[in-house]
Structure 1
Amino acid sequence: MNEKVQIVFGLLGGLAIFLFGMNMMSDSLQKAAGEKMRTVLGMLTRNPVLGVISGALVTAVLQSSSATTVMAIGFVSAGLMTLPQAISIIFGANIGTTMTAQIIAFKLSDYIFIIIFIGFIIGFTAKKQKIKYIGNTILAFGLLFEGIEIMGSVMKPLASSPFFINLIGKVAHIPVLGVLTGLMMTLVVQSSSATIAVLQNFASQPAADGITSIIGLAGAIPVLLGDNIGTTITAILASIGQSIDAKRTALAHCIFNVSGSLLFIWFVKPYASLITMISPKGNEVDVISRQIANAHTGFNIIMTLIWTPLLWLMVRIVMKLLPGKKERVVPLGEPKYLDDKLIRQPVAALHLVAQETLHSAHIVQRMFVKAEEITQKDSDAVLGTIRAEAAGVHELSEKINEYLAAVFSFGAITEDQASMATGVLLIQSEIDRIADLCRSIIENIAGAKNMKVKYSKDAMKELRKSMELIRRMFEETLVLMADPGKIETDSLKKEREMVMDIDEGMRKDHVKRVAKGKCDAKMTVSFNALLHDLDRMGSSCLNLSDTALKEINFNTLLQGEPDPEREELLQSSPHPESEEILQSGMDPESEERIPADAVRPKTRAKKVRA
Structure 2
Amino acid sequence: LLFMGLNMISVYVPDLQSNPEMFAFLEHYASMGYASVLLFLFVGMVLTAVIQSSAATFAIVLIMCTKGWISFDLACAVVLGSNIGTTITPLLASLSGNIAAKRTAMGHLLFNLFGLLWTLVVFYPFVRLNVGITEALGQGNPDEMFSFVNNLEATDPQTYNAYVGETLPASHPILAQVAKMQFSVSFGLSMFHTVFNLVNVMIMIWLTGVYVKIVEKIMPAKNKEDGEFQLRFISAGLLSASELNIAQAEKEMVVYAQRVRRMVTILETFAHTDSKTEDYSRLYSRLEKYEDISDRMQLEISNYLRRCSEGRLSNEAKGHVVAMLNIASEIESIADCCYRSAKILVRKSEQSIEFDNIIIENIDSMFSDVKEAIDNMIRLLANIEHVREADIVKSYNKEREINNLRNQLRTGNVKNINNHVYEFQAGNFYMDIINDLEKMGDYIINVTGTIRDSYLRHTV
TM-score normalised over the length of structure 2: 0.49
TM-score normalised over the length of structure 1: 0.39
